[in-house]
């Protein structure tokens, strides 16, 4: 690594993926809205990641920012940027294909099929389960870090980031707005809840907007990846997460965020993350030995 900086695998991954988006934005500068803004964003992520690597080595109090806060911020900022980049780079939405695959596989439109089971209490439960996606990776990371499981934390952080970034690449290649928009004319009933669903839906619609992020289902991929890592490293946390994750997966279809084939794609994403990610992590670890450069001696 340049300038004597020793990047951990997770640090390298964020820099590599941000660099990829930076280059893509430069190449497609003329067709991407606010391309200059995106270039600044991606460059800033690379810069701040590099700075935090250095500061985390000399100032232990900043390691929490490097290990927990910055990964969360970088994932959120990169995801938010996709709203400007995906449709500009690939204008061919594939909703029609995903809808057709769903019908061929199940003999119906799954999101429409679930209308017969709509119930305000069930909607509240499943909508709440759907939102656990935003918290379970953070909870796992904090738990492993608090327990001093350094190796487990480093590998888990890398694999979760790897899953996020792979899903973002999927959105670039397979843009789709999802059934809540593409199939809105087919629904006869609103997805109303009893207490919290409407508020959650409004918040998510405001935060996410239309990102063309249906395939693969990142919710499914991340949830299954986190659940596997919890099973491997923290069985107590695994037992707490099991039911929310098992509810989250059907919630993606019931709540009309994803086609059923998106969920299958998300499960494949988790498998690819945990297999290819292990190989990639070991490869990067050859150049970034754990604990040698940031004051840690290991787990």
| pLDDT tens-digit readout, 181-225 | 999 999 998 888 788 888 888 888 777 767 889 999 999 999 999
Given a cut of 50, is residue 39 above it in pLDDT? yes
Q: Identify the CA nearest to 251 among candidates 95, 128, 119, 138.
A: 128
Residue 19 falls inside a structural domain:
yes
Q: Which two structure tokens, joined as six digits, stand for 93?
A: 């939405």
Mean pLDDT of 116-133: 94
* DSSP assignment letter at 209: -
Residue 297 falls inside a structural domain:
no
Q: Which two structure tokens, joined as six digits, stand for 166?
A: 């792979």
Residue 154 falls inside a structural domain:
yes
Residues 131 and 142: their CA atoms lie apart, in Å, by 18
pLDDT of res. 291: 44
Quick one: 66 exposed, middle or buried, by C-beta within 10 A (0-12, 13-18, 19+)? buried
Residue 295 falls inside a structural domain:
no
Given a cut of 50, is residue 150 above it in pLDDT? yes
Residue 123 falls inside a structural domain:
yes
Residue 292 falls inside a structural domain:
no
Residue 296 falls inside a structural domain:
no
Given a cut of 80, is residue 170 above it in pLDDT? yes
Mean pLDDT of 138-155: 95
pLDDT of res. 7: 82
* CA triple 72-75-80, angle to 5 deg: 125
Residue 298 falls inside a structural domain:
no
Residues 124 and 183: their CA atoms lie apart, in Å, by 22
Confidence of residue 176 (pLDDT cuts 50, 70, 90): very high
Q: Identify the CA nearest to 178 among candidates 137, 133, 208, 135.
A: 208
Q: Domain span at residue 199? A: 2-285
Residues 213 and 175: their CA atoms lie apart, in Å, by 6
Given a cut of 50, is residue 247 above it in pLDDT? yes
pLDDT of res. 51: 92
Domain count, the chain: 1
Residues 28 and 85: their CA atoms lie apart, in Å, by 9
Cis peptide before 216 (omega within 30 of 0): yes
Q: What is the pTM of this model?
A: 0.91
């Amino acid at each position: 690594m340049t300038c004597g900086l020793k990047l951990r695998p997770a640090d390298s991954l964020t820099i590599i993926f941000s660099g990829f988006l930076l280059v893509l934005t430069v190449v497609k500068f003329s067709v991407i809205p606010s391309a200059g803004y995106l270039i600044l964003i991606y460059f800033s992520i690379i810069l701040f990641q590099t700075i935090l690597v250095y500061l985390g080595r000399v100032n232990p109090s900043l390691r929490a920012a490097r290990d927990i806060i910055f990964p969360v911020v970088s994932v959120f900022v990169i995801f938010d940027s996709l709203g400007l980049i995906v449709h500009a780079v690939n204008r061919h939405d594939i909703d029609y294909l995903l809808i057709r695959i769903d019908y061929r596989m199940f003999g119906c439109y799954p999101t429409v099929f679930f209308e017969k089971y709509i119930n305000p209490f069930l909607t509240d439960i499943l909508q709440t389960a759907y939102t656990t996606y935003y918290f379970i990776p953070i909870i796992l990371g904090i738990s492993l870090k608090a327990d001093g499981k350094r190796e487990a934390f480093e590998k888990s952080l890398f694999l979760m980031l790897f899953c996020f970034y792979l899903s973002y690449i999927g959105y670039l290649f397979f843009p789709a707005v999802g059934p809540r928009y593409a199939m809105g004319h087919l629904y006869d009933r609103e997805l109303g809840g009893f207490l919290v669903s409407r508020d959650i839906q409004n918040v998510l619609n405001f935060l996410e907007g239309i990102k063309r992020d249906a395939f693969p289902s990142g919710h499914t991929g991340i949830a299954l990846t986190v659940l596997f890592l919890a099973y491997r490293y923290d069985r107590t946390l695994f037992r707490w997460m099991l039911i929310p994750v098992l509810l989250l997966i059907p919630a993606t279809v019931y709540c009309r965020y994803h086609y059923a084939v998106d969920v299958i794609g998300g499960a494949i994403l988790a498998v690819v993350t945990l297999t290819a990610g292990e190989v990639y992590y070991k490869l990067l670890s050859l150049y970034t030995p754990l604990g040698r450069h940031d004051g840690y001696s290991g787990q």
